[in-house]
A and B are shown apart, each in its own frame.
Chain A
Amino acid sequence: MTGPLRPVFQEGQVLAAADLTATVSYARGAAARHARLLHDWGIADGLGLTTEDRTDPATNARYVEVSVSAGLAVDGTGREIVVTSPVVLSEADFEEVNGADQPTTSPYPVFLASADRVQSAAGVTSCAGGAGPTRVEESYQVLFGRLGDERLVAEQQPPAVGSAPADPPTRWLVLLGYVRWTDGHFTAVTTTARNVGIRYAGVRADTVAARSGTLALRSETTVQEGKPALVLSGEDPPSLVFGLYQGSGSVSPLMTVAANGNLTVAGSFSGRISAGSVLATSGTATDGTLLPLPAGVSPAEITDGRVALHVYLTPRIPPTDAGLNSPVEATVDSDRRVRCRMRFYDPAVGPTVSEQPGSVDFLVLATVAATSGGG
């Protein structure tokens, strides 16, 4: 397979239709390769399914009229699909595909695909030349799928890198969403069904560079208050900020990494304990209870040895007006269960001693040993 052929022209050359067509094809091919290989295909703008409430005059049943809003998609062949104005979905077209189905609440997929419409010849025609069409409208068609056809979207294979622009009838399905169908009408739309959702256009880049010195990533196409953003700022001092947009359009920081490496978070921090750190909890526990672990330490980390526990116990000697209280036992077993008993003896009463459960003051330290691999 040869590479792309760029037309060149010579003085005095007779320009045939093929030469002019080659000029157009060269440009189309370059644009399609760019769209196909530097971007991920999908909806770039608009093309949402919108609804208008309607009432069936015959049955008085409520339903919705579904339209596709104007917009642009790029399909997997690199072809742009432009919908210049809203399009009302045809119930007749839907019935032609799915009308024989049993009633169901499952949503049906709606696709957009490219379509070429040949325009009639217009203007001056040569006596020597043919009278064929001189324009092709790069149009589209809205297609209804059967239940489950949304899986076909992921099975589509893009053309080879050097392939010429794929013209219809080569069909690439772009999922627009789903419609529900009840008693001969559309009743609702949705963007996801059976774990398959709408695919939006993306970009492939190993480097994204900002001209202004500040690079922002946000979750919406426009700045919206309360929505998240990640801002890499090259201003003095440089910083990386994750936060939420405020009404003013600025980002209120929730997490900031400063140029000196300092990390500042507005919320709490959780995660694996870093090597060398020590976490602690302290308090008092009665006989038979389990000593709690310090916050941030899980039993699994103790079990697998990632975290070592150091436990210090002091038996609590109950105050007494007469006699003596002394600890018989103040330990903790491998399950972190407290074992504490107190012995009471009052020589004024007699030689009898009694034993009762006691309680201990505890300090539990959890440590993570530093390893050569860090941690």
Chain B
Amino acid sequence: MTLYVVYVPDTGHVVGAVNAIGAALPLADGVTPIDPALLVGDALPLRISLEPGEITTLSLSARELAVHLPDDEPGVLGDPLAFGVEGTDPKPALVRLPTWDTQLSFTSAGLLVTVPVDASQDTPVLALVSEGQDTLVRPGTITAGSREVTLPVTVSAGQHGVLVLVAGWAGRLEEVAQQ
């Protein structure tokens, strides 16, 4: 079996994984990067249930993704967002990320993201927010010494699908209400 994980290079989060044998997929040669489109197409759809019978989709473009072939890690197939790809040379490592459950919320300024502890260094953040059929992509940074960032986004009232990726913390895919 060969494990392929698709991740967001900006934050390291794994967003999809395929473990296969006998597949028409290239092997890592250390030189030519593997095209994420082979594993996700033009974009990876991340779906979340808002209400019974209603599913919204957050679309993550393949251009924003990369592929890594880690050593075997069965856990990544059950919960990809709980894993991150860290480091670059000589070989990135697949690591399990700490979970967090601090509430995500919309404020008048945008989407408020708060992690449990102050960041020791500037920490990249990427949020995808559903607005109707669209996906709003908002990058940001939790500055060193802080534990929160407000990502400027304006959404309509109601439930929205949100993917929040904070480097070093498990990714979260959930619904967030705008009052």
B49 contacts the other chain (CB 8 A): yes
Is A282 a contact partner of B17 (Cβ separation < 8 A)?
no
Contact partners of A357 in chain B: CB under 8 A: 46-47, 173
Is B45 a contact partner of A288 (Cβ separation < 8 A)?
yes
| Given A318-B78, A337-B41, A357-B46, residue A292 in contact with residue B16 (CB < 8 A) | no
Contact partners of B49 in chain A: CB under 8 A: 341, 355
Is A294 a contact partner of B23 (Cβ separation < 8 A)?
yes
B98 contacts the other chain (CB 8 A): no
Partner of B22 from A281, A298, A355, A359 at Cβ < 8 Å: A281
Contact partners of A289 in chain B: CB under 8 A: 6, 16-18, 39-40, 44
CB distance from A31 to the nearest CB of B (A): 57
Contact partners of A335 in chain B: CB under 8 A: 41
**Contact indicator per residue, chain B 33-72, by CB within 8 Å of chain A (1) or not (0):** 0000011110011111100000000000000000000000
Closest residue of chain B to A298, judged by CB?
B24
Give residues of chain A (248-296) contacting chain B, Cβ–Cβ below 8 Å. 279-296
Partner of A283 from B19, B24, B173 at Cβ < 8 Å: B19
A316 contacts the other chain (CB 8 A): yes
CB distance from A333 to the nearest CB of B (A): 10
Contact partners of B21 in chain A: CB under 8 A: 281-283
Is B78 a contact partner of A290 (Cβ separation < 8 A)?
no
CB distance from B116 to the nearest CB of A (A): 21
Contact partners of A296 in chain B: CB under 8 A: 24
**Contact indicator per residue, chain B 1-32, by CB within 8 Å of chain A (1) or not (0):** 10000100000000111111111110000000
B153 contacts the other chain (CB 8 A): no
Closest residue of chain B to A328, judged by CB?
B49
Is B22 a contact partner of A294 (Cβ separation < 8 A)?
yes
CB distance from A310 to the nearest CB of B (A): 14
Interface range on chain A (Cβ under 8 Å from partner): 20 to 34
Partner of B77 from A291, A316, A356 at Cβ < 8 Å: A316
CB distance from B138 to the nearest CB of A (A): 20
Give the docked Cα–Cα distance between A284 and B80 (Å): 12
Give residues of chain A (290-328) contacting chain B, Cβ–Cβ below 8 Å. 290-298, 316, 318
Give the docked Cα–Cα distance between A146 and B28 (Å): 50
Contact partners of A318 in chain B: CB under 8 A: 78-79
Is A297 a contact partner of B41 (Cβ separation < 8 A)?
no
Contact partners of B173 in chain A: CB under 8 A: 356-357
Contact partners of B19 in chain A: CB under 8 A: 283-285
Contact partners of A290 in chain B: CB under 8 A: 18, 38-41
Is A288 a contact partner of B44 (Cβ separation < 8 A)?
yes
Contact partners of A295 in chain B: CB under 8 A: 22-24
Closest residue of chain A to B37, judged by CB?
A290
Closest residue of chain B to A366, judged by CB?
B24
Give residues of chain A (327-374) contacting chain B, Cβ–Cβ below 8 Å. 335, 337, 339, 341, 355-357, 359
Is A288 a contact partner of B47 (Cβ separation < 8 A)?
yes
**Which of B23, B44, B48 has most chain A Cβ within 10 Å?**
B23
Partner of B80 from A281, A286, A293 at Cβ < 8 Å: A286
Contact partners of B46 in chain A: CB under 8 A: 287-288, 357
Contact partners of A286 in chain B: CB under 8 A: 16-18, 77, 80
Is A337 a contact partner of B45 (Cβ separation < 8 A)?
yes
Known: A285-B20, A357-B173. 11 other contacts (CB 8 A): A281-B22, A282-B20, A283-B18, A283-B23, A286-B80, A289-B6, A294-B23, A294-B24, A298-B24, A337-B41, A359-B78
The contact sample of 29 A-B pairs, CB cut-off 8 A, is A281-B21, A281-B22, A281-B24, A284-B17, A284-B20, A284-B77, A285-B17, A286-B17, A286-B77, A288-B16, A289-B6, A289-B17, A289-B40, A289-B44, A290-B18, A290-B39, A290-B40, A292-B20, A292-B38, A294-B22, A318-B78, A337-B45, A339-B47, A341-B49, A355-B48, A355-B49, A356-B173, A357-B46, A357-B47
